Amino acid sequence: MASYRMIVLSNPVAGKDAEFNEWYDHQHIPDLLNIPGFAAAQRFKLAETQLRDGAKPYRYLAVWEIETDDLAGVFHELSARRGTPEVVASDAIDSANVQSYVFMPVTPRVTAPEVARPRKAGRGKN
Q: Is 25 helix (H, G, I), strand (E, B) or coil?
A: helix
Sign of CA dihedral 78, 81, 87, 93: positive
On the question of pLDDT at 122 being above 90, the answer is no
Residue 24: closest CA among 78, 93, 81: 93
Residue 101 resides in a domain: yes
More confidently predicted of 48 and 60: 60
Residue 24 resides in a domain: yes
| Average pLDDT over every residue of 1-29 | 97
Residue 24: closest CA among 55, 64, 52, 57: 64
> Could you tell me how far CA 34 lies from the centroid of its own chain?
17
Q: List the domain range (segments joined by +) for residue 62.
A: 2-48+56-115
Total of domains in the chain: 1
Backbone angles phi, psi at 14, to 5 degrees: -50, 130
Residue 123 resides in a domain: no
Residue 122 resides in a domain: no
pLDDT for res 124: 61
Q: What is this structure's pTM?
A: 0.87
Residue 62: closest CA among 40, 88, 83, 92: 40
Which residues have a Cβ under 8 Å from the Cβ of 49 and sit 6 or more positions away? none
Residue type (1 letter), 122: G
User: Which of 21-35, 43-57, 67-81, 109-123 has the least mean pLDDT?
Assistant: 109-123
Q: For residue 82, what is the domain's CATH number?
A: 3.30.70.100
Task: Give residue-wise pLDDT tens across range 67-115.
Answer: 999 999 999 999 999 999 999 999 999 999 999 999 999 999 999 999 9
- The mean pLDDT of the chain is 94
Which residues have a Cβ under 8 Å from the Cβ of 51 and sit 6 or more positions away? none
